Amino acid sequence: MVKIIPAIDVIDGKCVRLTRGDYAQKKVYSENPLEVAKQFEGKGYTRLHVVDLDGAKAQHIVNYRALEQIATRTQLVVDFGGGLKTADDLRIAFECGAAMVTGGSIAVKNPDEFTRWIARYGGDKIILGADVVDEKIAVSGWQESTQEDLLPFIAGYVEKGVTQVICTDVSKDGMLQGANVALYRKILEHFPSLYLIASGGVSRRSDVEDLQKAGVPAVIVGKAFYEGRM
């Protein structure tokens, strides 16, 4: 059964969702991310994906207090990303209760540092963030495109010990039009043992079922929860 991972994105300490990563298309769903996390926990979910969108923009961790509240006042296993660029950012995230962290931009812009993180903490704690636009990696909170191709990007880090990848199709994110199943199937054909976490576009239960049929082990769901579709 595919694992469903609820998402909380944080701006100014509030629970928000963007559309296609556009900060100008921000919708606030709650003033209190902790209460949202408790609601997910109450419904039986065990893992939570938290993104510091302020951090992604600022290039350093910002909303660590929201992370700390969720991690210390729920039993949820939290993976945390957004703005993690230095060893100090990483230390703060782990000290505030993150069980795992996701690195995306740093894996492109400072591969040596990201490789050191993998070597120190292992693939069970360091997740590779592979956000894509037309199968090219996007960085800096999706505000910047690169010429880095998705599959070689993943391959390089699998060789270095990465076992989990969160792959977001930016064009699908927040659109509620279904996930890019073909993309995830393609990734798993090349990396069948990868713990691939799909993200972007899930709008209903049938989208999750389509991902399960494709062999995707886990999926992040955000806006579909907040809009009452799941």
Instruction: Extract the tokens encoding 144.
Output: 């910047």
Active site residue: 54, 79, 89, 131, which one? 131
**Residue holding tokens 């298309």?**
25
**Sign, CA torsion 222/117/92/163:** positive
Catalytic residue flag (residue 131): yes
Closest of 172, 136, 169 to residue 152, by C-alpha: 136
End-to-end, the C-alpha distance of the chain in Å comes to 17
Distance, in Å, from the CA atom of 34 to the CA atom of 73, rounded to the nearest integer, reads: 8
Active site residue: 9, 54, 89, 173, which one? 9
Closest of 47, 59, 63 to residue 11, by C-alpha: 63
Please give the angle made by the CA atoms of 182, 188 and 192, to the nearest 5 degrees. 160
- Paired strand residues for 3: 218
Catalytic residue list: 9, 131
